[in-house]
Amino acid sequence: MRLRAAGGAARRALGAGLPPLLLVAALLGLWEFYVDSGSDSSFVLPAPHSIAAAMWNNAGLLAANLGPTAEEVGLGIALALLLGFVLAVLIHLSPTLRRAVYPLAVGSQAVPIAVIAPLLVFWWGFGMFPKLVVIVVICFFPVLVTTVDGLAAVDPDQLKLLRTLDASRWQAFRFAELPTALPAALSGARIALAVAVIGAYIAESQTATSGVHAGLGHEINADLTALQTPRAYAAAVVLFGFAIACFHALGLAERRLAPWSARGRGAAR
């Protein structure tokens, strides 16, 4: 029975993977055809086959640059989830903190981070920290908003029931509010993850780095300046694949963490 379920899951995974693969193949075909018909210079728009070649020839370089970017995204998203979640819980528990913190959190999203980012280097140097700050500022907000709403969506009857069982404030949080909010918080995490890659690109573009391999975002900018357009596209493709992989990893985590949610259940079936 377990085997059959696994076989079914594999078949479904294949079925789910087929439409996007076909779409990507069709788009790549159109792209290749358009470039091969000799419209633009390859500096402006390289053909898919030359991007593929650039990926193959620069595999070592791209891998070396994926390392720092993955580290920034991983650490940045972890910090953003923590910050967003902790702030959401504080806002949920205390109306005073809600009034104090929420406007600042909203305001933080209006800060033109790409303009501020170069200044962060003056404060914190060429290391990873200013880049993490950029990613965290961009990514904590979706987690904060979805978690605050998720916590507020708790069924008041469940809280009432817990009160008749003499639950403490913490136990009401632990048994009702936290599980209610978890699926929403994980949705916020997905949004955060998708923008974290943009955050990493902005961070690498706007904050100088002293190392040799400064990340894929930095590589893209350097290649564009050097008219190595196919390699810039190759780096972008790696970034693209990395974002999709992270998104799916989070989907798997959601299935484990919140199997009762509609999405978690649907995915597990």
Residue ranges that bind other proteins, judged by CB under 8 A:
155, 157-158, 160-168, 171, 175-176, 179, 182, 258, 260
Structure tokens at 133: 């700050």
User: Looking at beta carbons only, is 167 or 198 nearer to other proteins?
Assistant: 167
User: Looking at beta carbons only, is 182 or 189 nearer to other proteins?
Assistant: 182
Closest approach, Cβ 161 to other proteins, in A, equals 5
User: Looking at beta carbons only, is 39 or 168 nearer to other proteins?
Assistant: 168
Closest approach, Cβ 224 to other proteins, in A, equals 48
Closest approach, Cβ 157 to other proteins, in A, equals 6
Beta-carbon neighbour count of residue 88 at 10 Å?
A: 27
Q: Specify whether the backbone of 111 is left (phi greater than 0), alpha (psi in -120 to 50) or beta.
A: beta
Closest approach, Cβ 176 to other proteins, in A, equals 7
- Dihedral sign computed on CA atoms, order 259, 262, 263, 265: positive
Q: Which residues of 181-195 are buried (b: 16+ CB within 10 A; e: fewer)?
A: bbbbbbbbbbebbbb
Distances (CA, A) of 268 to 7, 114, 224, 247: 13, 40, 43, 16
Tokens 């593929």: give the residue.
Answer: 52
User: Looking at beta carbons only, is 107 or 156 nearer to other proteins?
Assistant: 156
By C-alpha distance, which of 16, 20, 18, 42 is closest to 31? 42
Closest approach, Cβ 1 to other proteins, in A, equals 16
User: Looking at beta carbons only, is 137 or 182 nearer to other proteins?
Assistant: 182
User: Looking at beta carbons only, is 57 or 171 nearer to other proteins?
Assistant: 171
Closest approach, Cβ 174 to other proteins, in A, equals 9
Rounded to an integer, what distance in angstroms lies between the CA atom of residue 160 and that of residue 172? Answer: 9
